[in-house]
Amino acid sequence: MTDKLLKRTVLGAVLAAATAGAGWAGKADDTLNVAFTKELENVDSYFNSSREGVVLQRAVWDGLVYRDPETNEYIGNLATDWEWIDDTTIEFKLREGVTFHNGEPFNADDVVFTVNFVADEANGVKTQRNVNWMKSAEKIDDYTVRIMLKEAFPAAIEFLSGPVSMYPNEYYAEAGPSGMGLKPVGTGPYKVVEVVPGAHFVLEKNENYHDSPKGQPEIGKVDIRTIPDVNTQIAELFNGTLDLIWQTPADQAEKLATMDNFTVANESTMRIGYLTLDAAGRTGEDNPFTKLAVRQAVAHAIDREALVGALLKGKSQVISSACFPSQFGCEQDVTSYEYDPEKAKALLAEAGYPDGFATDFYAYRNRDYAEAISSFLNAVGIETNFNMLQYSALRELRMKEGTPVSFQTWGSYSINDTSAITSQFFKLGSLDDARDEEVKEWLDIADSSTDPETRKEYYSKALKKIADEAYWVPMFSYNTNYVFNNDVTYTPTPDEVLRFTTMRWN
C-alpha cells in the first residue's frame, strides 16, 4: 500500500469514527476530560521534575509572584508587593484572607515553613536548582516575611513566580511529601479530590479562590487520566471520553486539523532537545566521548534541519546554544555544527576510530526523534545500542553512574532565565557530564551578579565554551500540539503550561 493510500485509508476511518458521532459528555456534566502521556511520579510539586507535574503545580498551588505569560510582567499573587532590602534579602507583603483547600489560613508561617523546608538540601527536593539559592525565611509579622538568599541571585523573582509554591505549614509538617502526593493541599484555582498515583487525578474548581492574576476557574471539574498510547488518546477523543489532548505528534495533529470536530493549536515552548555526551568520563576514562573530536563528530553527524522539518514541524527551530533563545543571557553567537557526515567520519578517524565504535544510547521520550538521531549516528560509524527508559529511571541512572550518550529535553520549568537550564546542568552537579570548573566559575558569576551586563557577559563565556567543546549537542526547540473538541475554547501560551483557568466551554 502506498503512503498516500495509507494516509487516505487512515483519514477515512477517522472521519467515519468522527461522523459516527458520540456526544461530548464533558460539557454536559461540566467535566473537562484530559489525558497525560507520561506517568507522574509524585503530585507533590517539589518531588517531581516532569512537565505534567508543572501543570498540576500551577493548578493546585500558588507562588508569591505570578509572571504574565504574554507580557512577562511580574504581578503579585500570594504576595501583594515586595522590595529588595539588600542584594540577599527580599521582603514580601502577603495577601490577606486567603485560605488553603483544607481551610487553613494562609499567612507568614506558611511561607517561612515552606522556604525553610525546601531550602534544606537534606529534605531532598527533586530539582535542587529551583530552591537551593534560598537560605531561609523569617516572619516579620503575620503578613510580612523576608526571604534570605545564600548569595545575590537576580533571578529570584523569576523562580518565585514559577516552581516555588507555598504549602500549608500545619498540614505539610504532618503529611510530608508522601501525604501531599496522595492528598494535595494548596491555595490554587483547583483543588484535588482524587489521586490514583501515576494514573488518575481529579480536580474541582476552588469556589473560594482569591483574587489571583491567574484568573478565576470556570470549568467545574478536570478529570486527568494517564494514557501513554497516543492512538488510544485519539480514539477516546473521537468517542467523546476525552475533551483535550496535548503533546500530540505532528503527523497525527495534521490529520486531526483537517476535521471540523476538533481544534488543533500549535504553540512554541521553552523546551529544547539535546544530546548529552560523557565528556567527563563518568562511564569510564577511556570512553570515546572524552575526546573533543568525537563529540564534534556527533554534532556534525546529525541533520537537525531535517529533524525539525520532518518530525517536529510547527513552531520548532534549530538550536545551537545550551539554552532557549528567549531566556535572559542565552547567547546565540556560538559555534554551530552543520550537518556534514563526511566531516564526522574524518573527525572519528582523527580521534582514533576510523572504523567507528559501539556505544549505549539512552532516551526517555519521543522514540521517533531518538531513533532518527540514533540512525544518523549509525550512518557515520557510531553503532548505537538503543535503550528506551522511563524518565525517572534514566534520570537516576544519569545521576548515579552517567551515560555515554543520551537524548534529553529540558523545559526550564518555564523560567525565562539561562540559570534555569545552563546552570542546572553545568555546575558540577550529579547531571553534569562535562565537569568543567571554568564553566562553573563563569556561571557562578552570572548567577549572582546584580549587573545585567555582567550576567550576559559571563553566560556568554560559558555558553561559547560549552559549544566549542561540544559538551552538549543542542538540536531543536519543541512545539506542542493541543487538540480539543469544539465544546472547548483554549489559547495555549509559549511556556508549555496547560492552564485550566483559561479554558472555557463554548
pLDDT at 492 over 80: yes
The predicted model gives 413-422 an average pLDDT of 94
pLDDT given at position 195: 97
Tens of pLDDT along 84-141?
Answer: 999 999 999 999 999 999 999 999 999 999 999 999 999 999 999 999 999 999 999 9
What's the DSSP call for residue 103? S
Q: In the beta sheet, which residues pair with residue 130?
A: none
pLDDT given at position 227: 97
CA gap 113, 138 in Å, rounded? 9
pLDDT at 4 over 90: no
Q: In the beta sheet, which residues pair with residue 483?
A: 245, 264
Tens of pLDDT along 195-238?
Answer: 999 999 999 999 999 999 999 999 999 999 999 999 999 999 99
pLDDT given at position 25: 60
Kindly give the pairing relationship between strand 65-67 and strand 488-489: unpaired
pTM for the model stands at: 0.84
pLDDT at 60 over 60: yes
Tens of pLDDT along 274-287?
Answer: 999 999 999 999 99
Angle between helices 292-301 and 367-379 (to 10 degrees): 120
Average pLDDT over the chain reads 94
Beta strands across the sheet bearing 31-36: 190-196, 200-205, 221-226, 31-36, 244-246, 472-485, 262-277, 405-410, 357-363, 382-388
**Dihedral sign for Cα atoms in the order 309, 311, 315, 321:** negative
pLDDT at 272 over 80: yes
How many Cα neighbours within 13 Å face the side chain of 112? 13
